[in-house]
Each structure stands twice: as C-alpha cells, then as structure tokens.
C-alpha cells in the first residue's frame, strides 16, 4: 500500500469512518469517482454532526437538572 493511501486510511479512521466506508472510498478511488468519494465523506460528516447534536441535547438535559438541583440547594 502506498504511503499516501495509508495516510488517507488513517485520516478516515480518525474521522470514525467504519471499515465499510473506507473500503467503499477506495473502490470509488479505483473507479476515479471523486463525486462518489465526496458523497461518502459528506454522509460521514452529517452522521458525526447528528451525533454531536444528540450529545449536545443530552448535555442540555443534564445542565437543566443540575441547575434545578443547585437552585433547590440554595433555597435550603
């Protein structure tokens, strides 16, 4: 495997891409389908962003509970 391909694989792994996506990415590379590769990357980006938003919402719920409990404790 070429050093450049190894860098791309590492980058995709660091971006939490599943092995199937990485395999598909390189199949599209063999077909010189840059648009297909771009579509895969945008899909992974969307998935990560959705996950981030879900996590932020969960943090917001916890912050709400923490705030309420702190207000109760201040009132005691």
pTM summary value: 0.80
pLDDT single digits (tens) 8-64: 999 999 999 999 999 999 999 999 999 999 999 999 999 999 999 999 999 999 999
Q: Is 1 exposed, middle or buried (0-12, 13-18, 19+ CB in 10 A)?
A: exposed
Q: Output b/e per residue, 62-75; b: 16+ Cβ within 10 A.
A: eeeeeeeeeeeeee
Residue 43 tokens read as 């899909």
Residue with tokens 């939490």: 16
Residue 8 tokens read as 């791309």
């Amino acid at each position: 495997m070429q050093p450049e391909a190894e860098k791309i694989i590492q980058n995709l792994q660091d971006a939490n891409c599943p092995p199937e996506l990485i395999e598909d990415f390189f199949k599209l590379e063999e077909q010189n389908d840059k648009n297909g590769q771009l579509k895969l990357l945008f899909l992974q980006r969307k998935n990560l962003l959705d996950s981030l938003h879900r996590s932020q919402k969960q943090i917001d719920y916890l912050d709400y509970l923490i705030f309420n409990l702190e207000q109760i404790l201040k009132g005691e």
